[in-house]
Amino acid sequence: MELVNIFVRSAFADNMIFTFFFGMCSYLAVSKTVKTAVGLGAAVIFVLGITVPLNFLLETYILKEGALTWLGEEYASYDLSFLSFIMFIAVIASTVQLVEMLVEKFSPALYGALGIFLPLIAVNCAILGGALFMQQKQFNNVGEATVYGLGSGFGWFIAIVLIAAIREKIKYSHIPGPLKGVGMAFILTGLMGLGFLGFLGF
Amino acid sequence: MSEETKEALFSPKNKKLIAEPININNPVTIQVLGICSALAVTVQIDNALIMSIAVMAVLVIGNVLVSLMRNAIPSKIRIIVQLVVVAALVIIVSEVLKAYVYDVSKQLSVFVGLIITNCIIMGRLEAFAMGNKPWASALDGVGNGFGYGLVLVIVAFFKEVFGSGTITIPGFEKFHVIPQAFYDMGYENNGLMLLPPSSLIIVAIYIWFQKSKNPELIDEHGS
């Protein structure tokens, strides 16, 4: 039950795009057609589902204050949390690289669909944001962290697919010249964000 | 001595490096980079100011460092090298913020860490610092940092004035802009302005305004 709660909360109420604006750059750049949006969205779910639990383990067993106790009593007072940014980004960049190679080797079809998006994802704020929020939320175990990663990814997926569908149709509307392109995408995201605020109980 | 080394420190070309990102090549509204943090830390003006200073510091120092190393970085691993440079700088910035402005660093929470993946920084390192001399890269960093800060402060100004009726500048007391008489007559702060979606709409209006002033920026085929 707790897991379902975390999933729904991270996917809808704390939606990455509409509440925190994580990953807006690729969200705006890759949302011109539904097909590419689905590809990037799937890649984000995939990478978040892997890196959040990995970073959770790193946080619990290496970085947190007192996390090194398993090495021996004398390490109990060490606090390495100032290293978390650089460790998280290293884990993310290398995981993305590794995943890219594995997918290319074992599933060429999936690589064809996700391949070009994977390198983009290493510097997507949504992935590092997921790791940093995981650090703040202090989950109890790896299961919860994984579900949080998958839920956040799913929320991001919904957001990018929805905006891509709207942008495909809005091509046929008369929009004031200066608002064409990015301007309209911002307004659309704002309006969708207002809708998603409903999940927070406004 | 080549032609370039004799170039004056503030030649027209270098001035353009600072002036363009502030208006017609603004990193946030025209290049559409670094939106995540630009929208999320704009509830109060002081947060926006401190965030822009932090981003500008990382951008200028990172640009100079990467530009100094540009001939030594193998192109295959350049992204990782850039990430490490930026991450190290962000750790320093984050520790400095924690030491001197603890409250603000609490409010900025994860967004300080997210400077690492701020697309402006990676974008400028990749597009400019990798191919230019340190001084030009530093100017490019200052220009883009100002352009980013300008948008942040404008958005924060509207959000704070209409959302909570105050202006907060670091080092000063909260300044109430809306006079008490207005509240007595029934004026109320618009709570909606403090919520995330309103920053998107303010940026969109800013883009509208900016592109109407500079029609050559209009994206005719955009959707």
- Which residues, in sequence order, are CB contacts of A22 under 8 Å at separation 6+? A16, A124, A125, A126, A129, A130, A156, B36, B114
- Written as one letter, the residue type at B152 is L
Output the pLDDT for position B81: 85
Q: How confident is the model at residue B77 (pLDDT cuts 50, 70, 90)?
A: confident
Question: Is the CB of residue B30 less than 8 Å from the CB of residue B40?
Answer: no
Q: Quick one: A33 exposed, middle or buried, by C-beta within 10 A (0-12, 13-18, 19+)?
A: middle
pLDDT higher than 60, residue A191: yes
CA-based nearest residue in chain A for residue B214: A178
- Least confident span in A78-82, A117-121, B114-118: A117-121
Nearest CB to B110 within list A132, A189, A202: A132
Does B33 score more than 90 pLDDT?
Answer: no
CB atoms within 10 A of CB A124: 29
Compute the distance between CA of residue A73 and CA of residue A66 in angstroms, rounded to an integer: 10
As a whole number, mean pLDDT of residues B60-76 equals 89
Question: Which of A84, A154, A94, A92 shows the shortest CA–CA distance to A128?
Answer: A92
A98 touches chain B (CB under 8 A): no
A13 touching chain B per CB within 8 A: no
Task: Tell me the average pLDDT of chain B.
Answer: 83
CA-only gyration radius of chain A, Å: 19
The tally of CA atoms less than 13 A away on the side-chain side of residue B155 is 34
Higher local confidence (pLDDT), A122 or A98: A98
Question: Which one of A23, A128, A170 has the shortest CB-CB distance to B223?
Answer: A170
- Range in A10-24, A71-85, B43-57 with the lowest mean pLDDT: A71-85
Which of B40, B197, B219 lies nearest to residue A190, judging by beta carbons? B197
pLDDT class of A107 with cuts at 50, 70, 90: confident
Give ∠ CA B15-B21-B23 in degrees, rounded to 5.
100
How far from the centroid of its chain's Cα atoms is residue B136's Cα? 19
Q: Decide if pLDDT at B8 tops 70.
A: no
Structural tokens at position B143:
């220009």
What is the predicted pLDDT for the residue at A24?
A: 83
pLDDT > 70? residue A202? no
What percent of chain B has a predicted confidence (pLDDT) above 70?
A: 93
Average pLDDT over chain A reads 85
pLDDT more than 90, % of chain A: 19
A142 neighbors A50 (Cβ within 8 angstroms): no
| pLDDT range class, residue B2, cuts 50, 70, 90 | very low
Give the C-alpha separation, B98 to B106, whole Å: 8
The residue type of B67 is S
Q: What angle do CA B214, B155, A40 make, to 5 degrees?
A: 80
What is the rounded CA–CA span in Å between residue A104 and residue A111? 5
Taking the C-alpha atoms of residue B213 and residue B77, their distance in angstroms, rounded to an integer, is 41
pLDDT of amino acid A116:
66
Please name the residues between 132 and 171 in chain A that touch chain B, using a CB distance below 8 Å: 132-133, 136, 167-168, 170-171
Residue A12 has pLDDT above 80, yes or no: yes
Put simply, the answer to whether A177 touches B211 (Cβ < 8 Å) is: yes
pLDDT of residue A77: 79
Report pLDDT for B4.
Answer: 46
If you measure CA to CA, which chain A residue comes closest to B28? Answer: A25
Across the interface, whether the CB atoms of A128 and B114 are under 8 A apart is answered yes
Q: How many pairs of residues across A and B have Cβ atoms under 8 Å apart?
A: 150
Please write the tens of the pLDDT for every residue from B124-165: 888 888 888 888 899 989 999 999 999 999 999 998 888 888
3-state secondary structure chain B: CCCHHHCCCCCHHHHHHHHHHHCCCCCCCCCCCCHHHHHHCCCCHHHHHHHHHHHHHHHHHHHHHHHHHCCCCCHHHHHHHHHHHHHHHHHHHHHHHHHHCHHHHHHHCHHHHCCCCCHHHHHHHHHCHHHCCHHHHHHHHHHHHHHHHHHHHHHHHHHHHHHHCEECCCCCCCEECCCHHHHHCCCCCCHHHHCHHHHHHHHHHHHHHHHHHCHHHCCCCCC
Contacts of B211-216 spanning 24+ positions with Cβ under 8 A: B211/A177, B211/A178, B211/A179, B211/A183, B212/A178, B214/B23, B214/B24, B215/A177, B215/A178
If pLDDT is split at 50, 70 and 90, which confidence band does B60 have?
A: very high
Provide mean pLDDT across the span A98-105: 82
Q: What is the arithmetic mean of pLDDT over A20-42?
A: 83
A84 min Cα distance to partner chain B (Å): 9
Residue of higher predicted confidence among B137 and B6: B137
What's the whole-number mean pLDDT along residues B20-30?
Answer: 80
Residue A105 carries which DSSP code?
H
Measured distance CA(B91)–CA(B88) in Å, rounded: 5
Of B109, B201, B218, the CB nearest to A180: B218
CA distance A84 to A90: 10
Cβ-defined contact of A128 to B116 (cutoff 8 Å): yes
pLDDT higher than threshold 90 for residue B172: no
Structure confidence at residue A52 (pLDDT): 93
Residue B42, both tokens: 């704009």
Identify which of A7-11, A38-42, B166-170 has the greatest average pLDDT: A7-11
Chain A residues touching residue B195 (CB < 8 angstroms): 197, 202
Query: Is pLDDT of B1 > 50?
Result: no
pLDDT at A155: 94
Q: Is the per-residue pLDDT at B25 higher than 70?
A: yes
